[in-house]
Chains A and B, each alone.
Chain A
Amino acid sequence: MSITASHISKTFGDFAALDKVSLHVPAGKLVALLGPSGSGKTTLLRIIAGLEMADEGSGHILFGNEDVSLLPPGKRGVGFVFQHYALFRHLSVAENIAFGLRIRKGPERPSKATITSRVQELLALVQLEHLGKRYPTQLSGGQRQRVALARALAVQPKVLLLDEPFGALDAKVRRDLRRWLRNFHDGIHITTLFVTHDQEEALEIADDVVILNSGRVEQVGSPQEVYDRPATPFVHKFLGNVNQILLPWEGIIQGTKVPVEENVAFVRPHDIELLRPETAQPGALATVLDLHAAGPIAKIAAKRTDGRGIIDIELPRAYFDQLNLREGDTILLRARLEPVCQTILVTKPPMT
């Protein structure tokens, strides 16, 4: 079931956490809500869940075609996973998962046997079959996260909402668990919206990414789209490393397609071409400041000879080795002509 949020605003005192935000999550997709801290992403998620209310008269939340704006969270059919899990610490794993079913009243409550088998199913689904009797404090962070997920799924929600699902985990577990979540989603196809501040995470597992900044949506698109064709300077800066090159710069040759805002050009380090000056091709001269060649990518920092800044370059290791560079060498730089970078002339005023 799809999620549609239209024109959602939320103010805390004078501060506008969300400013007429609209968003659509197609049915069955896994969508990331990505933004820096304070961008309003968690607030938006909590409004969709019904844990917070949008400003009065500011918009609607639809699940499918049903307007759920006025429904309490328990009636919306959402599965919500909290950043710090919020597992009930006095209940065992199995009891946590069963909670949503046990509190139902009258004919809506499944029989004990049904609940038990449903809990077993969910434990198997999140691969924790043998831990049903444990208590939350006896589990690792990754296990707790999966219990929280199973608990949210037990009530058969229409949509799944995850608040920084990997935020409290360490790097290794984080990587494993997000791959696991992607596979898991491919298995059950429930419409899922998750909040994250980690670009890598969003780009790696989401079908679509919604980028939020200062309470506004900056861009919506597939991971490839948002990375390769950032709609705004913010997105450009937020996703991956980027050189902010003060213009004019001879490295940008007539016809080169790079995004430019005011007199700053945005070029990713791997989109800078590095040549020996003796090749006598068009480009700008620079001096090598620093070389790092550990791993498959070599990183070079070079100082513009006109003294207007430093440019980062990334090269494949093999090519770097071929060049045989030393600190202090003079090199020729230019923005790549390849179609990786589309021309985006940004008309928006700069962010303050």
Chain B
Amino acid sequence: MKTKNKKSSETGFFATLFTVSNSGEPQARRDPTWMRILLSIIAFSFLFGFLFVPLIAVFSEALSNGWRVYCALFIQEDALAALRLSLLTAAIAVPANVLFGVAAAWAITKFDFKGKSILVTLIDLPFAISPVIAGLVFVLIFGRHGWLPEQELGNFLAPLAALSRKAADAGFFEDIFRALTSWLDEPRIIFGVPGIVLATIFVSFPFVARELVPLMQSQGRDEEYAAITLGANGWQTFWRVTLPNIKWGLFYGIILCNARAMGEFGAVSVVSGKIRSETNTLPLHVEILYNEYNSAAAFAVASLLAMLAIVTLGLKSFVEWKTTRT
């Protein structure tokens, strides 16, 4: 990301706008002063109006009834339940997509095989598709009139339910197996947590893979080959050589994947029944509150998500700074 002309980036904004010479850039590559001013004004107005104002508005609206009201909103059971579900969803979706991303990047960058470019395109597919369709596809499969409706799924899973019940009766991790048994007896995917998790996995699917593939491509295969000639096996090669080399890229992918997983609205909206404190994630909770004309509460929950976005952006720039600084 770094280029020569950026070394002078620590000069003041207005200083660079108005000094004609004596800047890092050679004369032939400098825009005239009037142009620098004009383009800067356009760029910053656009940025200010379209990005900064909406971000500030979230907090301003959230605090419109004062701090006390704002804080009180967070101890509401519904909001906490939504937060718990959002965290749970991310806790399942992110590791699953990390596992996939690492495996896919390894297969794509360490080997040559036919159809590789098709595979790369297919991995990007969820980005090109409307989130509403991402939710729809799971309804088509598990919905009431789907390919594998929940009653049939229940019959299919009956043996497993019996097994799980036996485990629970035997007192083996009783709580977990009781819960599992009751889900297996009447499996609910659409309008339930599994549907939300599936839709979330779908929309946050490509993040890790598409971060790792170009990175690992640029790093080549020699270090892995070197480890192999020194006697390392596959796992040792991955854990001791590849992983340390890709850790920042992986972290970057995880941040983006997590932001999408926690913030997804459209896809989750389709598969969730929006049942309060049961199938309600934070973004869905925002919608419910907003549609109930409880604007301050909606913005309070939204401000939580906005803070998550700010943290995401901060971590993202930190990683970029960390990796370009060598």
Name A's B-contacting residues (CB within 8 A): 49-51, 72-75, 78-80, 82, 84, 86-91, 99-100, 103-104, 137, 151-152, 154-155
Contact = CB atoms under 8 A, between A and B. Distances in A.
B233 A88 contact: no
Contact of A137 (B223, B227, B232, B326): B326
B175 interface: no
A145 to B, nearest CB: 13
B16 interface: no
Contacts of A104: 231
A49 B228 CA distance: 10
Nearest to B231: A74
Given A89-B245, A103-B236, A82 B225 contact: yes
A88 B223 contact: yes
B241 A88 contact: yes
Interface in B195-237: 222-223, 225-233, 236
A86 B230 CA distance: 12
Interface residues of B, number: 17
Contacts of A89: 223, 245
Contact of B222 (A50, A84, A152, A155): A84
A86 B223 contact: yes
Given A82-B222, A86-B223, A90-B245, A51 B229 contact: yes
B229 A99 contact: no
A103 B225 contact: no
Interface in B228-283: 228-233, 236, 240-241, 244-245
A73 B240 CA distance: 18
Closest 10 CB pairs of A and B: A100-B230, A86-B222, A74-B231, A90-B244, A86-B226, A80-B229, A73-B229, A103-B232, A103-B236, A86-B223
A84 to B, nearest CB: 6
Contacts of B233: 74
Nearest to A50: B229
Contacts of A49: 229
A72 B237 CA distance: 14
Given A100-B230, A152-B229, 4 more contacts: A79-B229, A87-B223, A90-B245, A99-B227
19 contacts: A50-B229, A73-B225, A74-B231, A79-B229, A80-B229, A86-B222, A86-B223, A88-B223, A88-B240, A88-B245, A90-B244, A99-B227, A99-B240, A100-B230, A103-B231, A103-B232, A103-B240, A154-B230, A155-B231
Nearest to B225: A51
B227 A51 contact: no
A151 B229 CA distance: 11
Contacts of A84: 222
A78 B230 CA distance: 8
A99 B236 CA distance: 10
Contact of B230 (A51, A74, A90, A137): A74
Contacts of B227: 88, 99, 103
A74 B229 CA distance: 5
Contacts of A79: 229
A154 B223 CA distance: 16
A100 B229 CA distance: 9
Most buried by A among B222, B231, B326: B231
A99 B230 CA distance: 8
Most A-side CB within 10 Å, residue of B227, B229, B326 = B229
Contacts of B326: 137
Most B C-beta atoms less than 10 A away, residue of A79, A88, A151: A88
Contacts of B222: 82, 84, 86
Contact of B228 (A73, A151, A152): A73
Contacts of B229: 49-51, 73-74, 78-80, 152
